[in-house]
Structure formats: structure tokens, C-alpha cells
Amino acid sequence: MKNSWRNTKKAGYFLFSFPVLFLFIILYGIPMVRGVLYSFTNWNGLSKTYKFIGFNNYIQIFTTPRILNSMGFTVRYTILLVLSVMVVALALALMVTYAIGPRFKTFFRSMFFAPVVLSLITVGLIFNEIFYRIIPQFGRMIGSEILSRNILGNPKTVIFGILIVNIWQGVGIPFVMILAGLQNVPQDLYEAAIIDGANASQVFWKITIPFILPVLNVAFVLTLKNGLTVFEYIQAMTDGGPARTSESVGYLIYKIAFWEVQMNSAMAVSVLLLIVISMVSLLQIKLSSRFEVGQL
């Protein structure tokens, strides 16, 4: 009777999860496997026939200046984005938790999270007009040469224009996650540390950070993925310009696949991007897990 109940329970779990598993395999698993296979072929995305060419597509990645420049831009952008979003999100969460009165906490939570619900393309188009028309016009009115220039039109500053928009909209989810993590830090630990003579810096690094480190890990991985796959802002604001200096890897994949009809090369770059995201995420989680509560 007991074994029969266990089998029935397992069957129920399987039936409950089967629709999700089926959709995952059909919509994600099979396309991913086919994409990996196509990365070893000369398929252009339209032809009915193709042949295997081995690692030629992957060799081409590291010998094409355009792809290498795109990788360099993406790495710089991701590093700046991760550092900025994590620092800003943590600072805002600490401010709302400890520096703002109970009456205004709900208002600030909503205000900092509100940009997340907006469309990425819409936000990109709005800020494109701000950078192209409003800020330069304001700069000319006050006689500022720096503000009178379009930040998106300069190859040296275009990365910062995109970054500002991404930080403004991308900080909301890490902020909420860190805010929730701070609520779970036992207050009696703070009181005990203060009684023992610990200063604010010691309390922050020895108590707060270890307790919220699991949340920081998740926020880090999400922000890392957003940086390495940035696409919508570039499409709406720069179209990869000026002179292809803002072509990210994600946008380059789109251009190569659908505009230049080189699906094989796009698949190879996609596979490489997947490997990089997976390796960096696993490495970061592995290293930071040593400093979580219970691992010290």
C-alpha cells in the first residue's frame, strides 16, 4: 500500500510538471541543440542544404576584427554595468531600510522599481530623444560645450550613454531582491555586535554582507546576463554606431543572422556567449559561497 502511494505520488508529480517540461524541450531544448549543430555547418539560414565544416566558424570568431571589437565592447560594458548596478542597488536598499522613515518606504520602493515595468525599446527611444535633442539644447542654452554634444554620437562616450539608461532601468530588480534580503538579517546580531564594540563598517562586512550574499549572487548573475546580452537599448538608441563602436555581441548576432544572412556564424557566436555566461556565473557562485553564513 505504501509503495503504491509513492508510485501514485511520483506519477502525479510527473503529470503536473510534464506540460512545462514538454514546452521547455520544444521551445528551448530542441532549438538550442539544433543551433549548436548549425554552428558547425555552413548553413546561411535560408538554404535547404548545408554541410559540416568543423570548427571553421569558431576559428573565424577569433580572426575577425569586427567580432573581436564587439567582444571587447561587451566585456567593458558588462563590467561597468555589473559594478554600477550592484553598488547602486545595494546603496538604495540600505538607504530605504535604515535611513528612510516608515511613512515614505513604500513610496521609494515603488519609485525605484517603476522603471522595470517599462518596455526596453520604449525606454531606449525616449532616452535617444533626450540625448539627441533635450540635453544638447539645454547645453547650448547654458553655454556648456560638453552638454551641447550628443553623448551617443561620440565613439568614446556612446558606451556611457547606453550604460546610464540600462542602470536607470536595470537597478530595480536587484534593489528589490537586496531589500528583501536585508529584511531577513537578524536584528539581534546587530545589537550584539554594537554591544561588543563593532563599528558600522565591521557590522556591514561581517554581518550584513554574509547574510545577503545569496541574494547578491542571484542579482549578480541576472545583471551579468543583461550586460552580456544587451540588445534592445543598442537597437533603439545607436543601431550599433557610430562606426560600429557600440555593437554588442547580442546585437552582432542579430545583425549577422538576419541582415547579413550568416546564420552559421551567428550560431557559433551564440554558443560561445552561452559558454562564457555559464562559466562566469558558476565561478562567481562557487567563489562567493565560501563567504556565506555557515561557510565562514
Within a domain: 35: no
Kindly give the residue spans of alpha helices, DSSP state H, lying in the chain.
2-24, 30-38, 56-61, 65-94, 102-113, 120-129, 135-142, 158-170, 172-183, 187-195, 200-203, 209-228, 232-237, 249-254, 263-288
Q: What is the pLDDT of residues 195-254, one digit of tens each?
A: 888 888 888 888 888 888 889 988 998 898 899 889 999 999 998 888 889 999 999 999
Within a domain: 24: no
Within a domain: 100: yes
State the pLDDT at residue 296.
Answer: 45
Domain that holds residue 83: 64-291
Q: Can you give the C-alpha Rg of the chain in angstroms?
A: 24
DSSP letters spanning 48-66 = S---B-TTHHHHHHTT-HH
Within a domain: 50: no
Query: What sign results for the dihedral spanned by CA atoms 237, 222, 71, 163?
Result: positive
Please report, rounded to a whole number, the percentage of residues in the chain having pLDDT higher than 70: 93
pTM (2 d.p.): 0.86
Within a domain: 42: no
How many domains is the chain built from? 1
Say which amino acid occupies 96: V
**Residues whose CB falls within 8 Å of the CB of residue 157, separated by 6 or more in sequence, listed in order:** 151
CA–CA gap between residue 224 and residue 259 (Å, rounded): 27
Whichever domain contains 253, its CATH number is: 1.10.3720.10
Residue 74: burial class (beta carbons within 10 Å; 0-12, 13-18, 19+): buried
Within a domain: 29: no
State the pLDDT at residue 115.
Answer: 92
Residue ranges in the chain modelled with pLDDT below 70: 1-9, 288-296
State the pLDDT at residue 88.
Answer: 95
Residue 251, all three cell numbers: 546585437
What is the signed CA dihedral for 41, 44, 49, 54, rounded to 10 degrees?
-10
State the pLDDT at residue 202.
Answer: 85
Within a domain: 43: no
Residue 152: burial class (beta carbons within 10 Å; 0-12, 13-18, 19+): buried
Within a domain: 22: no
- Only one residue has cell 503536473, namely 16
